Amino acid sequence: MSDDLERSLRERLVKSHLDWIVLWLLKAKPRWGYEINIEIRERFRVYLSAGTLYPLLHSLEGRRFLEGVWESEKGRGRRIYRITEEGRSFLAAGERISQEFLRRLGSDPGSGS
């Protein structure tokens, strides 16, 4: 497979599931936006623009899947995001559906199961 095709598929998967990825990262620990972006870049080799990540963070906050709190550190403020119980429930449902999806992909296409 060509490097361009592999990169394109990886970006498509990450961007299509970005809400789950962000919540999954926040499940481990609270993070600020830049930290989330760096973690995604290191884990998945996908670069996200601020125009992709921050509107999603605001949307997830509006849906009450995460909460953001302003914290100051050495005169500098940043918004720290934490997953909520609603976010944990959404993430758990996504994990169940993903496992079922992968299980079905692994089964014989002609078996119907």
pLDDT tens digit sequence for 59-98: 999 999 999 999 887 778 899 999 999 999 999 999 999 9
Average pLDDT over residues 95-105: 92
Domain span including residue 46: 3-101
pLDDT at 113 exceeding the cut of 70? no
Number of domain units in the chain: 1
112: pLDDT strictly greater than 70? no
Global confidence as pTM? 0.86
Q: Is position 34 within any domain?
A: yes
In a domain, 49, yes or no: yes
Query: What CATH code is carried by the domain that includes residue 96?
Result: 1.10.10.10
The answer to whether residue 109 scores a pLDDT higher than 90 is no
Distance CA 53, CA 56 (A): 5
- Please name the residues in contact with 7: beta carbons below 8 A apart, sequence gap of 6 or more: 45
Asked whether residue 107 carries a pLDDT value surpassing 90, the answer given is no
